Structure 1
Amino acid sequence: MVAVPDELAVKTRKLIEKFQEIQCYSDNFSLSENDGERRLAPDIGCSWKTSSVVFEQSILGRENDKEFIVQKLLSIGDDNVADPLYVMAIVGMGGLGKTTLAQLTYNNPRVSSSFNDRAWVCVSDQFDVSNITRCIIAAVKREKCDLSELCDLQEVLQDEIKGKKILIVLDDVWIERTDCWELFFMPMRRTKLCTIIVTTRSEKVAELMPTRTDFYNLDCLDHDESWLLFTKVAFTIDQGNVPLGLVEIGRAIVQKCKGLPLAIKTLGSMLRYETAEERWREVLDSKLWDLEQARNEVLPSLELSYKHMPIYLKRCLVSLSLYPKDYDINELEVIELWNYLISFKVIEMMTSMQLEAKNFNGFDDDDQHIMHDLIHDLACFLSTGEFFRLDGDTFVEIPQKARYISIQDGASGKISVAPPSLRAILVLPRATVYIDNPKELFSNCEKLRVLVLDQHRLGPALPDFMGRLKLLRHLKFESLEEADIDDPSFRPYMYHIKGLHEIRCLMNLHTLPPIHFTHIKELRSLNEIRELTITGLGVGLNIDDAKEALLHTKRHLQFLRLDFDNYSEEMVWISYDSPNNNQNLQLLECLRPHCSLEELIITDYKSPKYPSWLGDSSFMNLTQVMLSSCRSQCLPTLGHLRSLMFLHFHNMPLVQHIGQEFCSHSPSVKEGSFPSLEELVFNEMTVCSEWSEVNNCTFPCLCTLKICRAYRLMSLPLVPFMSLTSLELDKCYSLTKIPASPRLRKLRIRWYDHFDELSAVLPINDPLLSKPLPSLEGLLLNNPLPIATTSISIEPQHLPLLRKLHLSCDNLQYCDRLTELSCLDELKLLGCPKFPPIPGSLRQQLQTLLGGLKILKKLISKNI
């Protein structure tokens, strides 16, 4: 018999426990052994094929949507087009009416008469190129096609549609593979014009198409349209003869449906022959899954999106049930929640890319969202009690199967003892909690992985249980994280962490609240730490304590923030001239992190020199660096960081020049600097006057450049910035030239707020917009004009793709050649008091003033 080492036995036991968790998770979500990354054959109780047939008189609320798409299809030219393929993607959640809108468009007489042939294919789950091609052939030839080989099918289709104009509708598409689209499109390129309408729930489906594509995001019905649809379905008599009680309840039911046509029609049809108010109120007060017809008709439609998700994303959706209905969900909060519960870094990366892409599409960066009530109902239905929301002001019994608990704003009263299966306790951001017996939450805390608490009620109850939290990975005090840790008025609260005397026992800890320098020795044994913020480094300098933290050994550390603030526990403030400032460098040298670090933030650093490790090429994984409120007269040398993608400088009041030292230690270095840098931000560089050109520093990957409050900066380096797609200038009073990157898609110029701050600047069209910007899609101009200038002259040939134009100029009275911007679909005039007012007859006036803007969809004007 061979003895098994204790360490191996422990690892084996943990592995078995993990498999048991996965098995439990599989049972909860009805997963089968055949589940892979995607489920292409969802076993839902309701699946049907669609056709092009529609009874138009029964459709309400989609007239404007139909007219827009019809006009768009008719405006697509067929002459001298390099690619005859055009795709219009109708995107929206299940039950919105995407198929209905496609049917209305397909059967419109103006559309049908504009094409030689038409074909309707319901694609649904399987994107079978052979089957879809066979269906198109059958529709075009009006006879059954029995061919089976794809090559034969494509040859026949190619011969049938050659030189013709053809319209194809692909309904309910899910495929997200470019190679499949390429294969499908091959015979279509022999047509004179092939227009394809795709209905899908995912924009990614259309984004992957290798041809010109437009999106039409279908919105929910407004309240009036929703009510009209409901009355048509629910009432068998004239609305005027319906009892007022039913009308009142009916309006509340419509409000509950939040503009989703499928839900409105389903609930309305359930009540069509019901005259008792009790039955109507029962429908109003019931959850969606408690109503048999809604469960059979509405939920399967919504659940279809869930079934098509990758398995790891299914858990992400269900976790949103931890939020209450109508909660303003912040995207960054959701990313954090998913990282806590799923621990997939890929989720954060994927979501960040989606946010970046979304911000490119407009100037209004709104990251707050409210989940549709029915999607929330679906998430709750799928959670099966594993996710539990704690709210209310009475005694709350926590289910024994609950594994993840969120605590809502206003939660009070008493709670039952938390179950042993509990894995996470999360106080929602901005929530105020008044639970009378908070220690009951931690009674069975041995398996807790995540704790997000408030510091006033639940936080003080935690220290007694610290020794039992052996598996804890994430610890956060919500009110600490919500506050600005740079705000001096808040710094006393930072010392709340010192009450956690046994924090060094939490060997599996991944994240914890900001820790003060005086407790830095507690970090010695936390070798699994992923995120770390250390404050108070400007006082109480103890080099030995810094060495004892052993930051250089923590190979899992991904995020590090070092805050050299001047706050001490005795409320003593140290000036910038303190002798301690000379020791900042030595201290920072001792706090060198492991080379696997990915994100670094340094604030309030007082030394004129930077540590030797900052910018060292051995930090191969470092992708993000931010320096804020540092007192050096130069920038650190960061050009050798091969993976650096995001670089931000904020409030660097002594930096006067950006030059060779920023890119490399020696001008003779042949290797290019900043090879991966994608985003560069200079904010509040108030005395910097020059950014000089440096050899081998061309920023080959730089996509985003933001320069704010650089009052004296006179020029940018003369490099082509070939990858630059977004440029923002704010209060750069002395800057008169900008890089004319051929890929520039978004340009924001916020010059100055008050004209008396500047005597004169060059006109905006000389030289800023005198060069072609062939890729520019969005242009925002906020007071860029000199005092005497009242107009902007735009050269349409320089801006062929401009889609969004936002103007906010105090003296602006006229914008020349505006109507020649053929691609413009959004125009905002904000804060232009001297611009001619638009009269009440807006539609007629737009046809006169903006007659050339055929695809303009949005006009917003204020203070004109």
Structure 2
Amino acid sequence: MAVELVVGGWFASSIVSNLITSLISYVKEDQSKRQLGLKAELRRLEKALPKIQTVMNAVDSGHIKEENPELASWLWQFRDAVEEAEDFIDEMDYYQLEEEIKGKKSKVSHAASRLKTIFQRAVRKDTTLERLKNIIKGLYEVAADVGHFVHLVDKLNHKQPSNTSNRDTSSLLPVEHKVVGRDDEKNNIINKLLSFSSASVRRNFSILPIVGVGGIGKTTLAQFVYNDERIEKHFSKRIWVCVSNNFDVLSLTKKIYESLKLHQNHTIDNLDLLQREILESLKSKKVLLVLDDVWNDDDRESWGKLLAPFSSVEGGSMVLLTTRMEKITKMMTGTMEPIFLRGLSEENYWDFFKNCAFGDEDPKNYNKLQDIGKKIVKKLKGSPLAAKTVGGILRNNLDDEHWEDILNSEIWELEQSQNDIVPALRLSYQHLSSHLKPCFRFCSIFPQDYQFDKEKIIYMWMALGLVRKPTKGNRRPEDIGHEYFDDLVKKSFFDCKSAGECYVMHDLLHDLAGLVSQGECFRIDECSGPKSIPTSIRHLSICNYVALPIPEIIKLKNLRTLLINSDSSEDDILKVLKGLKSLCILVVRNFNIIDDCISSLIHLRYLANHDISHVPKSVNKLYHLQFLYYQESFYRHFSDLPVDSIENLINLRILSTPNTRCGKTSGIGRLTSLQILEKFIVAMNENNFLELKNLRELRELVIESLEKVSRVEDICEANLKEKEHIQELTLDWTEEYDECSRSPEVDEQVL
């Protein structure tokens, strides 16, 4: 396994530093001499952090390209040790919440005394002190080995990072290269380039982006357009520059300078001199500038500098750029609506694949190979580069057995050059910011063509601690999670469907997520069948798979996510849950005996249980829980939400149940972190609006059965005017309610 797959944005020295600080605070509670050694180990661990960060940075950025089993093993050991320490701290936080909920917080006023009380209680409860000692020693022992790998990184410091592409492109189409199935897109782009009028913008040129995932054919389409006779006649100057992901204004300006053949002197490094000569050369000329393979989506100032010499061009000039990053389309004013490039149609793709796989041979002479080829094509998801990659491997051996071997292989397993499909897609991943990598990898546990609910996937990232905490202002973790998701959309990792409510991931990018999450994420479905589950797995989903591999699952001691969407028996699910203590996310269905084991899952942040009849009382002990989803069974009615099943969930942010019926003593008023309350039902003959009074963080609120309000003073108790964060408020009167009993005057005052 490539070592970058082990880390991939997981490590942050600040997190481990805070972890060490927390561990030190617990060690201080034991004043015996035996703890002096633990404190010393923690201090040495602090000193080793810079070296650990150096190794992690090198791995995460792709500096260490080749596989290194020894380093991969050490990375997993260190990750295991850190996560075990995180679980310990989280457990101590759980006990503190338990003390506060039980009202004991007021009895212990001093923070240190409270910490000591909680720690001592935990020690009495089980072997917590012994665990703490083992955790600290485990961390130190793993960290002590980092020096060996620092030397490995030092040797690579002089090398160029592997996520800087060496790819270069030309304006010329390769010899004998046939463009298939892009005539409509070509003509659309040419029409836009020829019909642009500078009168509609404040400058003489506009920018037309071609956006699409890696390997979809953006460069080929741009070459197709660039060499069209209509383009040659319309523009007096055409310039082609391959940008790649090294967006350096000086070097790109030099490429433009050289393309214009102004001088043969390659030693000019004065940006001002270069740009003034370019400006003079382009004055009053209609220019087409193609910027191919652009990655820079966050440096508006550099864009302005690069395009400065084009202020003198004739009106109607154009910049055509190709990119994977939709965000780039927002970087410069005057940018036209982008052309989003999709995969080839089924018919065109088959024609293109035959050209790649059979070359000069006539496919009609190979009927069986055509049958195999059509099956292979279905796996390539319409990507031209994937067809070229696999076709190039196939055409070397037009043998039935060879083609069958390729059919039964994953595209990621095939030997490929730097410009083939896997390196092209992996570059997209390597170019992601470190905080986005684990979010993208996590998505691999969902099946292909899965329709992602934006809000729920963000909530899952939050539950796993993948979303950083806000540092200032009124920003919430949800707001930061939205930024993460929107960045992935802008970088073409997700496609938006149905007006922003549903998103899908391109099939090849989903495959990429599976590749880069090996050892961390695992999915079992009806297509994959039984598989051996690596013990390093953190996130597991089981879809449409009847028999749970119980012995393998209960070995996953570091499992954080478990999604079970199958017809497994309640007894099997119970056996699995009893062996998993580190879960943060649990999604199950048709599981009504969850009472017996749920309270032991003290790290749980996200719980969804579908096709059930009630919320079990044991959920009330999940003090860390932030997101709770329950859905009633089609065959049975969901009972009312009882007070003793949610009132202690003081960290709950989302409550979604079929019947959130809240009476005077429902306890929902204690859930002061709630962001969304989907159904608050007004009670008859009792004022339950007091429950809403302290829910000041609400963003969405639905109040039903308002016809039951007899006094307008009652609804005033809800303090709706003080809920400054409310974005959606729904007030509902039930139509079936007896009209004779309604008071129009009260209804009007309520509004």
Asked if Structure 1 and Structure 2 have the same fold, meaning a TM-score greater than 0.5 normalized by the shorter chain, the answer is yes
Match of 2:174 in 1: 55
Q: Which one of 533, 536, 560 corresponds to residue 398 of structure 1?
A: 533
**CA shift for structure 1 position 509:** 1.4
C-alpha distance in structure 1 between counterparts of 2:199 and 2:698, whole Å: 55
Q: Which amino acid aligns with 2:174?
A: F
Structure having the larger proportion of residues in strand: 1
Residues 1:475 and 2:607 aligned together: yes
Which of the residues 680, 685, 707 maps onto 1:582? 685
Sequence identity of aligned pairs in percent?
28
1:830 is matched with none
- CA contact 2:692–2:719 (8 Å) conserved in 1: no
Number of equivalent positions: 589
Q: Are the equivalent residues in 1 in contact too, given 2:524–2:545 (CA < 8 A)? A: no
Relative to 1, partners in 2 of residues 1:49 and 1:395: Cα closer, same or farther, differing over 3 Å?
closer
Structure 1 residue 167: deviation in Å? 1.1
Report Cα offsets for 1:380-413 as digits up to 9, x if no partner. Answer: 1101221111334976643311111112024335
Letter in 2 for 1:51: S
Residue 247 of structure 1 aligns with an amino acid whose one-letter code is Q
- The answer to whether the 8 Å contact 2:279/2:309 transfers is yes
Residue matched to 2:371: 248
Residue 240 (structure 1) shift: 5.0
1:84 CA displacement: 0.8
1:375 and 2:509 correspond:
yes
Aligned to 1:855: none
Equivalent pair of 2:60/2:434 in contact (CA under 8 Å):
no
Is residue 686 of structure 2 the alignment partner of residue 564 of structure 1?
no
Q: How does 1:743-754 map to 2 (within 5 A)?
A: none
Q: 2:454–2:502: 8 Å Cα contact kept in structure 1?
A: yes
Q: Among 702, 711, 717, which residue is 1:601 paired with?
A: 702
Compared with structure 1, are the counterparts of its residues 537 and 464 closer, same or farther at alpha carbon in structure 2 (3 Å cutoff)? closer
- Residue 290 (structure 2) pairs with residue 169 (structure 1): yes
User: 2:314 is matched with which residue?
Assistant: 192
Q: Does 1:505 align with 2:608?
A: no
Unaligned runs of 5+ in 2: 1-22, 31-37, 65-159, 468-476, 631-637
Q: 1:108 aligns with which of 228, 242, 258?
A: 228
Please state if 1:300 is matched with 2:435.
Answer: no
Where does residue 670 of structure 1 map in the other structure? none
> Is the partner of 1:88 in helix, strand or coil?
strand
Question: What one-letter code is carried by the residue in structure 2 that aligns with 1:442?
Answer: L
Question: In the alignment, what sits opposite 2:693?
Answer: 592
Listed one character per residue, the Cα deviations across residues 233-291 of structure 1 (whole Å, up to 9, x for unaligned) are 22145435533211100111122112111110111110112132121011111112211
Q: Over residues 141-200 of structure 1, what are the superposed CA-to-partner deviations in whole Å (9 max), with x where a residue is unaligned?
A: 443454323333332222221211111111111112333223333332221133100100
Question: Which residue number corresponds to residue 181 of structure 1?
Answer: 303
Mapping for residues 542-553 of structure 1, pairs under 5 Å: 543=664, 545-546=665-666, 549=667, 551-552=669-670
How big is each residue's C-alpha offset from its partner over 1:692-736, in whole Å with a ceiling of 9 and x where there is no partner? xxxxxxxxxxxxxxxxxxxxxxxxxxxxxxxxxxxxxxxxxxxxx
Task: Give the whole-Å Cα distance in 2 for the aligned partners of 1:228 and 1:164.
Answer: 40
Aligned with 2:255: secondary structure?
helix
Q: 1:538 to 1:317 in 2, by over 3 A?
A: closer
Letter of the aligned partner of 1:178 in structure 2?
R
**Aligned partner of 2:383 among 260, 267, 284:** 260
**70, 82, 92: which one aligns with 2:190:** 70
Conserved in 2, the CA contact under 8 Å of 1:415 and 1:435?
no
Paired residues of 1:385 and 1:399 also in contact (CA < 8 A): yes
Other-structure match for 1:318: 441
Q: CA deviation at 1:48?
A: 1.4
Question: What code does the residue aligned with 1:426 have?
Answer: L
- Aligned counterparts of 1:593 and 1:659: Cα–Cα separation in 2: 25
Relative distance call for 1:362 and 1:281 in structure 2 (3 A) is closer
- Aligned amino acid, residue 235 of structure 1: F
Q: Measure how far apart 1:352 and its partner are.
A: 8.1
1:503 maps to a residue whose letter is V
The question of whether the paired residues in 1 share the 8 Å contact of 2:202 and 2:334 is answered with no
Secondary structure of 1:66's counterpart equals helix
Q: What amino acid is the match of 1:58?
A: H
> 1: CA distance between counterparts of 2:276 and 2:442?
49
Read off the aligned partner of 2:280 and give its amino acid letter.
Answer: D
Q: Residue 603 of structure 2 aligns to a residue in which SS?
A: coil
Contact kept? 1:632, 1:654, Cα under 8 Å: no
Asked whether the 8 Å contact 2:412–2:422 carries over to 1, the reply is yes
Is 1:628 aligned to 2:732, yes or no?
A: yes
Structure 2: how far apart are the matches of 1:528 and 1:7?
27
The whole-number CA distance in structure 2 between the counterparts of 1:29 and 1:443 is: 39
Question: Which residue does 2:110 correspond to in 1?
Answer: none
Question: Which has the larger helix fraction?
Answer: 2
Q: 1:496 maps to what in 2? A: 614
Q: Conserved in 2, the CA contact under 8 Å of 1:516 and 1:536?
A: yes
Q: Does 1:350 align with 2:483?
A: yes
Return the letter of the residue paired with 2:203: D
Q: Mapping of 1:810-821 within 5 angstroms?
A: none
Report the Cα distance in structure 1 between the residues aligned to 2:675 and 2:306, rounded to whole angstroms: 43
1:214 counterpart SS class: coil
User: In structure 1, what residue type is equivalent to 2:270?
Assistant: E
**Residue matched to 2:211:** 91
- Length-normalised TM-score, structure 2: 0.69
TM-fit CA distance, 1:595:
2.3
Cα shift at 1:101:
1.2
2:269 & 2:594 partners in 1: Cα distance? 67
The 1:556–1:51 alpha-carbon spacing in structure 2 relative to 1, beyond 3 Å, is same
CA contact (8 A) 1:535 1:563 kept: no
Counterpart selection for 2:650 from 512, 519, 527: 527
The corresponding residue for 1:31 is 60
Name whichever of 161-170 and 236-245 sits farther off: 236-245
1:150 aligns with 2:271: yes
Cα pair 2:519 2:534 within 8 Å, conserved:
yes
Tell me how far apart the structure 2 counterparts of residues 235 and 115 of structure 1 sit (CA, whole Å).
38
Task: Measure the CA separation in 2 of the matches of 1:86 and 1:200.
Answer: 16
* SS at 2:716 equivalent: coil
Structure 2: which amino acid aligns with 1:407?
I
CA contact (8 A) 1:394 1:413 kept: no
Shift in alpha-carbon separation, 1:443–1:77, aligned structure 2, 3 A: same
Task: Judge conservation of contact 2:242–2:291 (CA < 8 Å) in 1.
Answer: yes
Q: 1:105 to 1:582 in 2, by over 3 A?
A: same
Range that drifts further, 515-524 or 403-412: 515-524
Aligned with 1:581: secondary structure? coil
Aligned to 2:561: 424
Q: CA deviation at 1:100?
A: 1.2
Q: For each residue in 1:8-41, what CA deviation from the matched residue of structure 2 results, as whole angstroms up to 9, or x when unmatched?
A: 869x99x999999xx89x9799415999xxxxx8
Amino acid at match of 1:280: W
Secondary structure of the corresponding residue to residue 229 of structure 1: helix
- Are the counterparts in 2 of residues 45 and 300 from structure 1 also a CA contact under 8 Å? no
> With CA pairs under 8 Å and 6+ residues apart, which has the higher RCO, 1 or 2?
2
Q: Closer, same or farther in 2 for the Cα pair 1:151/1:9, shift >3 Å?
A: farther
Which of 387, 397, 400 is residue 277 of structure 1 equivalent to? 400
Match of 1:446 in 2: 581
Partner letter of residue 478 of structure 2? K
**What do residues 782-835 of structure 1 show as CA deviations (whole Å, max 9, x unaligned)?**
xxxxxxxxxxxxxxxxxxxxxxxxxxxxxxxxxxxxxxxxxxxxxxxxxxxxxx
8 A Cα contact 1:394 1:412, kept in partner: no
